[in-house]
A and B are shown apart, each in its own frame.
Chain A
């Protein structure tokens, strides 16, 4: 048998929830270590190696020191996979991009003596692909475990993972949900990439766009829909801010 790919899992600015989804594979984690060698995964193990083929990275890039670390990982990894919304599109971390850094720091840390501390030296939040090339994406907040399995098995087989390029509506309709618009809600499902099995609308919560937008919210066809349902454009724009601030739409392969 071919040598198993060596996998390292890293995190940047994030809640570690997507890593937790991997750790939460429970007994299947035994299958995972059967097909890949996990050489670094801070959340679940203390060993670490810099010798890896695949880097799976959660989190966004917030500071110059993150950028340096990410470039270093990229130089060591043959394949780089972005894990979860913070890494794939910037996610909730990008909400702060709408304000000045000083203002944000003052609001959060008040008068605490952070000046000059490198840890607090932040720039605009970036998704991984704004710093280094990303090979594959595992979208979502958090990720969908089945999709993680699909990507990791594909990579172990040397196959290109197939990530949907169609909107959440496709999966939502297959689940036979009542449309969120029909219920009077704002839903980003029609413009958000599927692959989550429409989990939010299926549990009666409108889509927040955590898997990235595949169509701009400011297209005429979206406006028409909002108008038809008496919803305002400003509100849907605000909804996009949750995960997609400053990002109009994702390229097809992201």
Chain B
């Protein structure tokens, strides 16, 4: 058992002081703050407290800081951005096993197929000296989550055994650190027994327990989605989001641009966000997708106990008890919530709110750092909308599919998602349509040909064009749903592709005649072989010239001679405002089109585009990754999809 050493208390202090004096590393550890504990820079070993119960916020802050400069930009030049690479190597001392496990979980999220480069650099540059738990927080239920002890995830692990410490070596890095700085001895068999004894002694100190095993969390939650518990408890919620701020497994973030007062330089800042806050799901147009406190409150527990487990295979709660301490009305403690649900039945279908979909995430740069692009052409579409042709400066085609989206950056203003409006092509350029709704769209509309912007993407799943081949297509769009639909229509009507599809019916509804998009193209579509194209407006105000149909989009369905449509061989695509889906889908079902033949494109707040920031979630599904295009069959049972 040579990987376990012992060190006297005095030598442990010397070891830590040597690390501090050496100045190779920034040495941080647990210190007292009033009656509580925090991780902070150590000036000498005496400050270190290994008898702490829990820190106010987790050591996550060293890997994913509260406020993090992702990149700096210079607005005096057209496009000048430098990712932030500052970081001194760091040693963190005193991390409890539950926090070590929380970091391992975070690795799965941040170091998956889309690596978060900022997180990764910090992770690689940090040495973790963990510490076994001696005193248990009265809100902790780590023992019920099997996170009270761990045998991996650390470089070194300290266990207090009577008048000295045992050190378990967890990595080569840890071993080298000991060799260089510490005076240690090999642990004797008696010492190793004492580690066990110390842990057992701690185990008896847990006051909080979860009545069911953590493997049952996903199913118990599924069965209780509509339980009265959510409302009953969230009635007391003051919506401060403290629960998410102190949580070691809350990973959601927001990104904002900050500018110096001279408007010359600035930084893109990432900061912790919380799903309990109302604006968390707010999109540019002002819509909030989780409007009620109850829905946001429930979301937090489902994310921890069902959505992340379905995606990554772990329960995203380590039982540290921080949220229980931080929550003023005391409604945030997951052990209380799960215990209050535990008498309900247990279902088998635990992944009901998740869609497993293989997605290739396509950040070619460092995560969040956009590629430089140039505005090549701007067309006015309507009074409020413009079409932009954009070319990547690296002269590479974007390589997108219809239905995918890009994130457009204007440094100093921010970033926003845009559905691609042009069909896939070999050319270097692509098009997006822009309606003025927020800061990014307003600024974009003021820009000129030749101006530089940033592009990330393409992101998300586009339309499965292969599945459409040999079928009739019924393409329904409303309002700005025409932006992404145009990409698909121009692809399928392209002479090269047209024969791959049978009859094509295009239905399009705009609010008013002056809001009709791409009218010239609509006229062209009408002329295509075996293609029907119907247009309607919701209303026509006095003085507006319109001789076509007036009525909601659903009024077009009786006009397409649907009785002749071979519905089983028809693929239908619906893109429009949230309110439209319910009604149009009903029409499609009346026509006999099976649910699996219906595709929808859903809008949410796609902030990061790479399945990390958490804003675009519909239940367990990330719209930016698994969507925005979905098969209706997959999403129809997601309660948050078509509210």
Expressed in whole angstroms, the Cα–Cα distance for A189 and B240 within the complex equals 9
Q: Are B261 and A149 in contact (CB under 8 A)?
A: yes
Q: List 22 interface pairs A-B (beta carbons < 8 Å), by A numbering.
A: A28-B261, A34-B263, A153-B263, A157-B443, A159-B442, A160-B442, A162-B256, A162-B439, A166-B278, A166-B279, A169-B241, A170-B242, A174-B66, A174-B67, A178-B56, A179-B326, A190-B328, A191-B238, A215-B239, A221-B236, A221-B237, A225-B238
Q: Does A106 contact B (CB under 8 A)?
A: no
Supposing A159-B443, A190-B238, A224-B236 touch, asked if A173 and B261 sit within 8 A by C-beta, the answer is no
Q: Which of B240-270 contact A (CB under 8 A)?
A: 240-242, 245-246, 256, 258-263
Residue of A nearest to B241 (CB): A170
- Which residue of B has the minimal Cβ distance to A162? B256
Q: Mark B142-161, 1 if CB is under 8 A from A, else 0.
A: 00000000000000000000
Interface residues in A138-185 (C-beta closer than 8 Å to B): 149-150, 152-153, 156-160, 162, 165-167, 169-170, 173-179, 181-183
B contacts with A: majority SS: loop
Q: What is the CA–CA distance of A81 and B318 in the complex, to the nearest angstrom?
A: 46
Q: How far is the CB of A232 from chain B (nearest CB, A)?
A: 16
B525 sits at the interface (CB 8 A): no
Q: Is B277 at the interface (CB under 8 A from chain A)? A: yes
Q: Check B330–A228 contact: CB distance below 8 A.
A: yes
Q: Does B439 lie within 8 Å of A176, measured CB to CB? A: no
7 tightest A-B CB contacts, nearest first: A173-B245, A169-B240, A31-B262, A31-B261, A174-B66, A225-B328, A153-B259
For residue B271, which residues in chain A have a CB less than 8 angstroms away from its CB?
A: 174
- In the complex, how many angstroms separate the beta carbon of A53 from the nearest chain B beta carbon? 16
Complex contacts, A149 vs chain B, CB 8 Å: 259, 261
**Do residues A221 and B238 form an inter-chain contact, with CB atoms below 8 A?**
yes
> Among B61, B236, B240, B329, which residue has the most Cβ atoms of chain A within 10 A?
B240
Residues of B within 8 A of A (CB): 33-36, 38, 56-57, 61, 66-67, 235-242, 245-246, 256, 258-263, 271-272, 274, 277-279, 326, 328-330, 412-413, 438-439, 442-443, 446
Q: Verify A169–B242 contact, CB threshold 8 A.
A: yes
Q: B236: which A residues are within 8 A, CB to CB? A: 220-221, 224
Rounded to whole angstroms, the CA-CA distance of A215 and B329 in the bound complex is 15
Inter-chain contact A228/B261, CB cutoff 8 Å: no
A105 lies within 8 A of chain B by Cβ: no
- A226 vs chain B, min Cβ distance (A): 9
Assess the A166–B263 pair: CB atoms within 8 A.
no
B242: chain A residues within 8 A (beta carbon): 169-170, 173, 179
9 further contact pairs, Cβ within 8 A, besides A31-B262, A178-B36: A35-B262, A157-B412, A157-B413, A159-B413, A165-B279, A169-B240, A176-B57, A221-B236, A224-B236
Residues of B within 8 A of A166 (CB): 239-241, 274, 277-279
Task: Give B73 Cβ to nearest chain A Cβ, in Å.
Answer: 13
Q: Is the CB of A170 within 8 A of B238?
A: no
Chain B residue with the shortest CB-CB distance to A225? B328
A95 contacts chain B at the CB level, 8 A cutoff: no
Instruction: Select the residue from A28, A159, A173, A221 with max chain B CB neighbours within 10 A.
Output: A173
With contact pairs A159-B442, A170-B240, A191-B238 given, residues A153 and B261 touching in the complex (Cβ less than 8 Å):
yes
Shortest C-beta distance, B200 to chain A (Å), equals 31
**Which of B240, B256, B438, B442 lies in contact with A167, CB distance below 8 A?**
B240
A165-B278, A221-B235, A224-B236 known; A158+B446 contact, CB < 8 A:
yes
**A158 CB to closest chain B CB, in angstroms?**
7
**In the complex, A162 Cα to B284 Cα: how many Å?**
13
Distance from A225 Cβ to chain B, minimum over Cβ atoms (Å): 4
Most chain B CB neighbours (cut-off 10 Å) among A32, A152, A179:
A179
Chain A interface residue number, banded: 35 or more
Check A31–B239 contact: CB distance below 8 A: no
Report chain B residues within 8 Å CB of A159.
413, 439, 442-443
**B263 touching A178, Cβ below 8 Å:** no
Docked CA distance A181–B236 (Å): 16
Shortest Cβ distance from A185 into chain B, in angstroms?
A: 12
Q: Are B328 and A228 in contact (CB under 8 A)?
A: yes
Check A224/B329 contact, CB under 8 A, given A157-B413, A169-B242, A176-B38: yes
Report the nearest A residue to B56, measured CB to CB.
A176
Q: Cα distance A152–B278 when bound, in Å? A: 26
* A222 interface residue per 8 A CB criterion: yes
Docked CA distance A220–B438 (Å) = 35
> For A119, what are the chain B residues with a Cβ–Cβ distance below 8 Å?
none
Closest to A159 in B: B439
Q: Which of A31, A35, A166, A220 has the most CB of B within 10 A?
A: A166
Q: A159-B439, A166-B279, A228-B329 are in contact. Are A178 and B35 (CB under 8 A)?
A: yes
Task: Using CB atoms, name the residue of chain B closest to A25.
Answer: B261
Question: Could you say which residues of chain A place their CB within 8 Å of the CB of B38?
Answer: 176
Give CA–CA (A27, B262) in the complex, Å: 11
Measured between beta carbons, the chain A residues less than 8 angstroms from B412 are 157
Residues of A within 8 A of B277 (CB): 165-166, 170
Bound: A222/B56 CA distance, A:
23
In the docked arrangement, what's the CA distance between A36 and B340, Å? 58
Residues of A near B330 (CB, < 8 A) are: 228
Distance between Cα atoms of A152 and B242 in the complex (Å): 30
Which B residue's beta carbon lies closest to that of A227? B329
- Could you say which of B261, B326, B329, B446 has the most chain A C-beta atoms within 10 Å of its C-beta? B261
| A32-B261, A149-B261, A178-B36 given; A167·B239 CB < 8 A | yes
Q: How near does chain A come to B192, taking the closest CB pair, in angstroms? A: 36
Which of B34, B236, B279, B413 lies at the interface centre, i.e. has the most chain A CB atoms within 10 A of its CB?
B236
The answer for the CA separation of A224 and B330 in the assembled complex, in Å, is: 10
Report A-chain residues with C-beta under 8 Å of the C-beta of B239. 166-167, 215
CA distance A177 to B34 in the complex (A): 10
Complex Cα–Cα for A27 and B278 (A): 38
A132 to B510, CA, bound (A): 37
Complex Cα–Cα for A166 and B273 (A): 10
CA distance A170 to B325 in the complex (A): 15
**Contacts A149-B261, A224-B236 hold; do A174 and B33 have CB atoms under 8 A apart?**
no
Q: Closest residue of chain B to A181, judged by CB? A: B328
Q: Which chain B residues border A157 with CB–CB below 8 Å?
A: 259, 263, 412-413, 443
Q: For residue A222, which residues in chain B have a CB less than 8 angstroms away from its CB?
A: 238
Least CB distance, A254 to chain B, in whole angstroms = 15
Residues of A with C-beta under 8 A to B240: 166-167, 169-170, 189-190
